[in-house]
Structures are given as structure tokens and as C-alpha cells.
Amino acid sequence: MNIIIVANRNNPKTLDALFQITAFLDSQAIVHNEIDVSDLPDSAFACSALADEVNARYGGAYDLIIALGGDGTILHTARLANVIEAPVLGINFGHLGFLANSADNGLIALLADALSGEIMREQRVNLHVSVTCVGDEEEPPEGPREFFALNEIAIARGAMGHIVDFAFDISGDRVAKLRGDGIIVSTATGSTAYSLSAGGPLVIPSHRGMIVAPLAPHTLYSRALVTEHHDVVEVSFEEGSPSSWEVSLFADGDALSFGRPISSIVVTTGERTTTLITRREESFYKQVARTFFK
């Protein structure tokens, strides 16, 4: 067995957990490799030729990734998991911990149950994001234009703060042409995050479609939409529009930058799911009720 441990070393609580886990794995003669979450590459490597570099860097086949931290640590770890195709056991040392397990009943007991296969594995849909910029056809881009996200892709106002003019289509059908702060495309996993703040619905994690939620649209008639698994969401900007230069793009909260104005952004569900090892002590609905309705 071969294990990677990703830890947020800026969180003092994770350091003691890291020591306990490595000591336990050593006692079981289990090979392990430790990585600080800050050393992980960005979201582009999970969907591009850079994935080969990641495989070469970490080498070998891994049976498990242990993520020590909050949901942010797990979101970053999911990018690595998408490349090396390993399940993620998240252990919460953050705030909400929707993606992570609590270690209140014993850290080593939780790990032992995960290693023995006694904890449920959930398949979570993720996002594949493809960005086209003005001039890409005439001059190939220098950097990657494909990205991975487990929670959401957010298209938002840029540094100038100007309102964004955009249109969005779902599977080839024009849904709306809007002005506003932008738009969020999220997974069901991300429905409890930024999408929720934008007025999107809470969606059970097993749902395989996407959620499309406009950000502060300048209209009385806009609503969030829930798609099917096979749908394709495209957000576009008119050529020459100031929005194409000024808009900001974020994958799971990390800013993505381009040297050219954005022409369109296409979002689909990923080809393979992200596997989270979860000891669910309460249902999703009870967790939502406790977190958001009390």
C-alpha cells in the first residue's frame, strides 16, 4: 500500500495529526509521502499535459490520499486525486467541514477503518473548464486553457469593478443574456459553497448535474438552473466588449489569469468522478439543517 498525506501546515492542529498518522503508518509498514498543500500545483495541471509532470513528480500508484485541513485543503487535494486517480480521506481541522470527516471519535480509528474499507466511498462529480481567448485561433496560447474544479467555476467582476455583460447557453440553447456581477457554475458538492451565497439551491451530493447561478443579475427574472449530467454550459462575451478584458475567473476560489480577453468559457462535468471516503454520521439533510437553518 502507498499513501500520500497532504497537510495544511499553517494549521497547528494538523501537525499533531500528521505525527500520529505517520507513526501509525510506519508501525504498519505502509509506505507514505507527505506534501504541504501549498506545494500542490494549480487547477490547470489536473486537465492538461501537465498531468504527466505530476505523475512523474510523485511516481507510482497510490491507494489513498489523506487530506489534513479544512474543505479548502480537500479542494486542492482533489486536483491531485484527479491525476493519480486515488480516493481522498479528508480529516477536518477547518470550519464547516462539509467534505471532511470529524476525528472526534479517534484519528487512528478513523484511518484504520478507511484502510480496511469499512467507510463509505462517495463518487462526486467535478467540473472540466475550457477557456477560449480572443486570438487563440491565430496564435496558440502559451499557457493552459483547461482547468479542474470540484466545487465551482466563478466568472465575476474584475479589478475595475465594472458590471459584466454576458450570455449563457445550456447544451446549445440560449438561456439568457444578462448584466450583473457574473455567474457561477457549480457541482452538487459546491451547492453548499459560493453557489449558495448567490441564491443557488442546496443539492444532494449524489446529483450528477451542474448548478448555474447568476451573480447579482440586473433583472427581476433571473433564477438558478439545475442541469443534467450530460449538459454543456457555455458563457460568452461579445467581441470587443470591455467585459471580456475585465472579467475575473476563479476555479474553486483560485484566480486564473490570461494575457488576452476571454471569448468564451465552456463547462462540463469531468470524465471521471472524485472519490471521497466519508464516514457520514448524519444525513446530508440533517447536516444542512444543522448548518444553515439553525
Return the C-alpha cell found at 275.
Answer: 472519490
What Å distances lie between residue 25 and 16, 117, 288, CA to CA?
Answer: 14, 16, 34
3-class DSSP assignment, residue 36: strand
DSSP state of 29: T
Rounded-to-integer distance, Cα 235 and Cα 170, Å? 9
71 is catalytic: yes
- Whole-angstrom CA distances from 72 to 97, 147, 174, 217, 272 are 9, 17, 33, 27, 21
Q: Which of 16, 42, 63, 71 is catalytic?
A: 71
Active site residues: 71
